[in-house]
């Protein structure tokens, strides 16, 4: 009986661990907006009317501390990446431009965070976590932009097979 209870306990722990990993595989979201899930109509409900729209449909919104640009999946992207057609019109990426951020890689605990790959140039540093679809760009040591995009696993699941 002890052996059976021990196996049930281990199986339960394994299932909980797997569910935790699966939950962490989704893309990072911002303000309730998530790549490959949120539609343009949802974005407009959440953020209101944009202050601008580019010819390719990128919407620009004022937000505290800067601006947000939201781009959407189009048919060309779906074809190029061999994705399911129902993704057309969902959010592809959210880019937050930080005008006066004081955040640094140190203050955000990114320097020792192994989940982020680090790229450097003379004036900028980029931290990427593609498992979550999260990219931070620092210019001369302070945060300038945050990108919320699709996670690697999300892209894999969105492919047509």
- Residues 62-83 pLDDT 10s: 999 999 999 999 999 999 999 9
Residue pair 97/58 in contact (Cβ under 8 Å)? The answer is no
C-alpha–C-alpha distance, residues 155 and 83, integer Å = 8
The pLDDT-based confidence of 16 (bands split at 50, 70, 90) is very low
The pLDDT-based confidence of 92 (bands split at 50, 70, 90) is very high
- Which residues lie below 8 Å from residue 145, measured CB to CB, with a gap of 6+? 95, 96, 97, 98, 135, 136, 137
The pLDDT-based confidence of 155 (bands split at 50, 70, 90) is confident
The pLDDT-based confidence of 26 (bands split at 50, 70, 90) is low
Q: Which two tokens stand for residue 24?
A: 């962490």
C-alpha separations of 138 from 101, 107, 159, 161 in Å: 10, 12, 32, 38
In DSSP terms, which residues pair with 139 in a beta bridge? 124, 142
Which of 1-5, 6-10, 138-142, 154-158 has the least mean pLDDT?
A: 6-10
pLDDT score for 37: 94
Can you tell me the mean pLDDT for 3-31? 50
pLDDT score for 129: 96
Length of the chain in terms of residues written = 161
Average pLDDT of the chain to the nearest whole number? 86
Q: What percent of the chain has pLDDT over 70?
A: 83
* Residue with tokens 């979550």, as numbered in its chain: 132
């Amino acid at each position: 009986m002890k052996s059976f209870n021990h196996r049930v306990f281990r199986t339960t722990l394994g299932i909980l661990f797997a569910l935790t990993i699966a939950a962490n595989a989704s893309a990072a979201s911002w303000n309730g907006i998530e790549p490959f899930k949120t539609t343009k109509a949802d974005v407009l409900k959440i953020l209101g009317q944009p202050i601008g729209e580019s010819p390719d449909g990128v919407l620009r919104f004022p937000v505290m501390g800067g601006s947000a640009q939201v781009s959407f999946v189009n048919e060309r992207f779906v074809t190029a990446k061999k994705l399911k057609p129902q993704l057309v019109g969902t959010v592809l990426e959210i880019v937050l431009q930080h005008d006066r951020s004081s955040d640094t890689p140190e203050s955000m605990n990114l320097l020792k965070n192994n989940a982020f790959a680090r790229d450097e140039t003379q004036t900028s540093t980029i931290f990427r976590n593609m498992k979550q679809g999260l990219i931070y760009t620092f210019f001369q040591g302070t945060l300038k932009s945050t990108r919320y995009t699709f996670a690697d696993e999300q892209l894999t699941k969105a492919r047509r097979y």
